[in-house]
Amino acid sequence: MNDNWQPSCNLEALQQRAAMLHDIRAYFYAQNVLEVETPILCNAIGTDPYLDFFATRMRGTQLYLQTSPEFSMKRLLAADVGSIYQITKAFRQGESGRYHNPEFTLLEWYRVGFDLFDLMDDVEQLLIPLLKKSAFLLKAKRLKYADVFEKYTGLNPLKFSEQDYRAVAERLGFHDAGKLCGSEHSLWLDFLFSQCVQKQLAKNQVCMVYHYPACLPSLARRNVENHLLVERVEIFIDGVEIANGYFELTDAIEQEERFEQEILQRMDNNSASVEKDHRLLAALKSGLADCSGIAIGLDRLLMVLAKKENINEVLAFPIRQA
């Protein structure tokens, strides 16, 4: 039996976390954004083909620990509660390592009437007091996905040629990439971005990469001027991803189609089966105002701002000590 009862992080890390949570709540209070709570244990779960979840049962009913509060928060938005935020626990099966713990703290918020660029402004303003305390540059760098991807790989991310992608991977020494990615454009993009692009992003600074290829849509709407793009942004600090945000898809029909496509992908991946969240689809059908939303992993954010090498250094009790 492991009898190590002591916390993984020190008192300073606990104090930094408390200060971070205070600053976040102060920001949203000043912005008149309502703090909400939604269930962690729900009847449905997201269909993302590359996320694994925790499930349990109650009196024969299957329940899921949420990987994100997104669906419940969108149901609140559809009920016209206005702009909202939440600080909550979320859970992802099999995610454990330098940057991951299966149980983690998530900040998620939605701004009614905001587009993607308004959202990026919002993120930048939220982070200013946190960056000041950690001596990071305050001005964020904003980069289009296509520009930065082509700069570091030489490939156009909006046009897929498996032969060209394999050739670049071989030239860069990633000899197993073809086996891992096959003919899936989205897998190639994720692999090459993580291996070739992400590590090149600005150090000691926030970097916002936006306008992702349409084959990486998640829950973002398509760009009205270029349907090869979606209104999605990811936030990086020191090359570490801390957030994922969207100008939100509000079309219930398109959302249901994406659910169905992802369920098929899960079947191809031999992942646990899931069903569409019918309550979310009903909320979208009732009408969801234009809004943008984003989720920030607070444990990872704290790790980066505190210049720690492992997420366990900012957690009181990571999974191995829980």
> Two tokens at 44?
């449905």
Instruction: Give residue 187's Cα distance to chain centre.
Output: 17
- CA-nearest of 320, 314, 321 to 298 is 314
Domains and CATH numbers, the chain: 11-136+204-321 (3.30.930.10)
- CA-nearest of 102, 141, 100 to 233 is 141
> Two tokens at 49?
């083909």
> Two tokens at 266?
């899960």
Indicate the residue type of 124.
E
Contact 251, 281 (CB under 8 A): no
> Two tokens at 80?
């016209």
pLDDT in tens, the chain (322 residues): 667 899 999 999 999 999 999 999 999 999 999 999 999 999 999 999 989 999 999 998 999 999 999 999 999 999 999 999 999 999 999 877 899 999 999 999 999 999 999 999 999 999 999 998 888 888 999 999 999 999 999 999 999 999 999 999 999 999 999 999 999 999 999 999 999 999 899 888 999 999 999 999 999 999 999 999 999 999 999 999 999 999 999 999 999 999 999 999 999 989 999 999 999 999 999 999 999 999 999 999 999 999 999 999 999 999 999 9
Look-up of token digits 């646990």: 272
For strands 205-213 and 137-144, give the pairing. parallel
Please give the pLDDT value at position 1.
60
Rg (CA), the chain: 20
Instruction: Identify the bridge partners of residue 70 per DSSP, sorted by sequence position.
Output: none
Please give the pLDDT value at position 3.
78
Helix (H, G, I), strand (E, B) or coil at 243: strand
Q: How far apart are CA 143 and CA 139, in angstroms?
A: 13
State the DSSP string of 183-220. T-HHHHHHHHIIIIIGGGSPTTEEEEEEEEETTS-TTB
Please give the pLDDT value at position 135.
82
Contact 198, 148 (CB under 8 A): no
> Two tokens at 87?
């600080």
> Two tokens at 218?
């998640």
Q: How far apart are CA 306 and CA 231, in angstroms?
A: 31
